[in-house]
Structure 1
Amino acid sequence: MNRQEWFNGKRWGMFTHYLPVPAGDGTGDFCSAEDWSRRIDAFDTELLAKHLHEVGADYFCITIGQNSGHYNAPNPVYDQLTGIVPSKCARRDLIHDIAVSLEPYGIDLWVYLPSGAPCADQQAMEKLEWEDKGNQPGNHSRLIPFQRKWEAVIREWSLRWGKEVKGWWFDGCYFPDDMYQFSDEPNFESFAAAARAGNPDAVLGFNRGLEYPFLIQSQSDDYTAGEVGEQLPIPSQKDLENLHGKKLHILSYLGQWWSGGQPRFPDELVIGYSKLILAKGGVITWDAPLEPDGGIPEAYRRQMKVLNEALK
């Protein structure tokens, strides 16, 4: 299968950061492993699927985890490598259960994962051999031992979920020249191979940050990561030509921050920007929060319904 075929008929999707703390929080003040598993156990995947169907989303993306070291699915490879007891990987496989609930509605599932170790979990960082040297290119070594371990963690999840996961969005690939742009492994290609171990047709993108929303980083990328924040940039014709057949994709948030606050935009702006991206041959993903039980808050459901009607 040509992976670009996955985008046929796709217009927009929903993204969410389902985490024990706000998105981007790296302080280390987190819930216990048991409390996290209880929260995941209480997540109503059928309610989420019903809401996504009601708002008309073509696909849905959820964080597997981020900075705290809590993950919403088991991973024995991660547990073995880090030695963390009790495991901060949830008992329940929430990703699998979401995929099962979405399938009757024809809504595809993507997953989000950082490209680095959880920065607020010191034990995980040490055991995975991750070095956090700030955000300046040139400060980072290649981190080959870490990359091999992280690829093994990703491969375990990919094999677990198989074709249930249709796409991956990898955050924090800020240092491609330091870590990934090499002819020998580990590199972007081996990273992508780990993610596609369970589903060779899965689409993926590597995010280099807000400064590069229209960048295709490697031959393994299928779409632009497209992260945008306060500004809503417009891709130029040159940007589109530089995609070389890969998909234009934009990711932004409807609230005051990633999965936080109340909707910040009037409906007309959300509709207008979405239409602009679609008119340029792209797809757009809008981030919104979930309630603790997995439902979409009413204010966001209302706005997404309006968006979906306008895009028909």
Structure 2
Amino acid sequence: METRRSVDWFKEAKWGVFCHYLPKPPKDAAAGSTLSAGQWNERVDRFDVEGLASQLDSVGAKYFYLTLGQNTGHYCAPNETYDSIVGIEPSKCSKRDLVNDLADALAVKGIRLLVYLPSGAPDRDPIAMEKLEWENGYIPGTGNRHNRQRTGKRLAEFQRRWEAVIAEWSLRWGNKVNGWWIDGCYFADEMYRFPDAPNFESFAAAMRAGNPDSIVAFNPGVIVPVISHRTEHEDYIGGEVIRSFPVGQQERWLEGRQYHILSFLGSDWGQGEPSLPDEFVIGYTKHVNDSEGVVTWDVPISHDGLIEQPFMEQLKALHAGLSSAAVR
């Protein structure tokens, strides 16, 4: 069964750009430290949304993913629900609504905004983990990442609280946000695959509270060939791969979900120098596009919100290469 929401615009975009805009401590800070709330606000306030929108427009990108936050508990938009649950003062949610501002700047260029969020609480913030009632689904010390034992916990109260946080954001942004990419959905059977809420349906409903047409992906991890979570509430494949790129997909749909690949152009997510030849980036993107699949490339981004120049050159080469292939 194909997704009930239209992903035609996503398929027609063919490829887009992803960034990990995350707090990193100043170079002279002690190991293990992170930014204060004040430092984080200063950084978010400097984010040049018009500059980034112009960069993306110049390389022909039709959509862009922004991280709301990840493991430290810093988020780039305010959220009263999160603050009321977690109780950290001053709040580690920025005062500036960067998502709103970036969406407005991108809309001028005809570029859609999607957002990234982990499925769990920030695991480097013990206060947030306690207040949200989050636990990692793996039992520590029980093997490597391929064979670790699971706790088997549903974490229903955490899920209800996390859904409330997400719903506030979604209602705030409305149709300015066109989709979500949810990381770390490793425990689908334990947490989401139930007929009653909280489940996949209620989780996706929170993301679509402000925009019922938002497209959603639940990332199961780095799995090649890529897989679907086999739920009607997912619209496209998370598709995370590192340096083993799947080939041979001949159809647009994988178990009813839009085929999609996400990888990075640097040495890792959000960092390093370009590590793939232009010819490969162009050729692989075209290979996936030829079967009506979509490819998203992660690039490093500066504290001021701009894509670093070596990656701009590679994105320009990708745009030129695909444009040239299209007219042959």
Instruction: Calculate the TM-score normalised by the size of structure 1.
Output: 0.94
Contact 1:213 1:227 in 2 (8 A): no
Report how far residue 213 of structure 1 moved.
5.6
Q: Which moved more, 1:84-93 or 1:292-301?
A: 292-301
Distance 1:42 1:59 in 2: 22
Equivalent residues in 2 for 1:130-149 (5 A)?
130-134=134-138, 136=148, 138-149=150-161
Contact 1:4 1:246 in 2 (8 A): no
Equivalent residues in 2 for 1:70-89 (5 A)?
70-89=74-93
Amino acid at match of 2:94: A
Q: Which residue of 2 aligns with 1:268?
A: 279
Report how far residue 6 of structure 1 moved.
2.8
Amino-acid identity (%):
52
CA-based RMSD: 1.7
Is the partner of 1:269 in helix, strand or coil?
helix
Amino acid at match of 1:150: W
Q: Which moved more, 1:128-137 or 1:189-198?
A: 128-137
Out of 186, 192, 195, the position equivalent to 1:180 is 192
Could you tell me which runs of 5 or more consecutive residues in structure 2 were left unpaired when the two chains were aligned.
Answer: 26-30, 139-144, 324-328
Out of 93, 96, 104, the position equivalent to 2:97 is 93
Answering whether residue 230 of structure 2 is matched by residue 226 of structure 1, we say: no
Out of 44, 48, 55, the position equivalent to 2:52 is 48
Amino acid at match of 1:307: L
Is the partner of 1:62 in helix, strand or coil?
strand
Is the partner of 1:263 in helix, strand or coil?
coil
Contact 2:18 2:65 in 1 (8 A): yes
Superposed CA deviations along residues 217-265 of structure 1, whole A, max 9, x for unmatched, are: 111111100000122122545xx58724421000000000001010001
Is the partner of 2:209 in helix, strand or coil?
coil
Contact 1:216 1:243 in 2 (8 A): yes
Q: Which residue of 2 aligns with 1:303?
A: 314
Moved over 3 A (4+): 135-138
Is the partner of 2:312 in helix, strand or coil?
helix
Distance 2:243 2:214 in 1: 29
Number of residue pairs the alignment of both structures matches: 306
Distance 1:193 1:2 in 2: 13
Instruction: Calculate the TM-score normalised by the size of structure 2.
Output: 0.90
Distance 2:286 2:11 in 1: 16
Cα separation, partners in 2 of 1:2 and 1:192, compared to 1, 3 Å:
closer
Contact 2:137 2:187 in 1 (8 A): no
Distance 1:140 1:54 in 2: 47
Q: Which residue of 1 aligns with 2:213?
A: 201
Contact 2:264 2:270 in 1 (8 A): yes
Is the partner of 2:117 in helix, strand or coil?
strand
Report how far residue 137 of structure 1 moved.
5.8
Is the partner of 1:166 in helix, strand or coil?
strand
Report how far residue 293 of structure 1 moved.
1.2
Superposed CA deviations along residues 178-233 of structure 1, whole A, max 9, x for unmatched, are: 11111111001100000000000001100000025622211111110000012212
Amino acid at match of 1:296: I
Contact 2:119 2:184 in 1 (8 A): yes
Equivalent residues in 2 for 1:1-312 (5 A)?
2-21=5-24, 29-134=33-138, 136=148, 138-211=150-223, 214-217=226-229, 218-236=231-249, 240=251, 243-312=254-323
Is the partner of 1:272 in helix, strand or coil?
helix
Contact 1:143 1:179 in 2 (8 A): yes
Is the partner of 1:168 in helix, strand or coil?
strand
Contact 2:11 2:293 in 1 (8 A): no
Report how far residue 5 of structure 1 moved.
2.7
Is the partner of 2:257 in helix, strand or coil?
coil
Superposed CA deviations along residues 62-102 of structure 1, whole A, max 9, x for unmatched, are: 10000000000000000000001110000100000000000
Distance 1:17 1:173 in 2: 18
Contact 1:169 1:207 in 2 (8 A): yes
Could you tell me which runs of 5 or more consecutive residues in structure 1 were left unpaired when the two chains were aligned.
Answer: none
Distance 2:192 2:81 in 1: 22
Is the partner of 2:115 in helix, strand or coil?
strand
Is the partner of 1:9 in helix, strand or coil?
helix
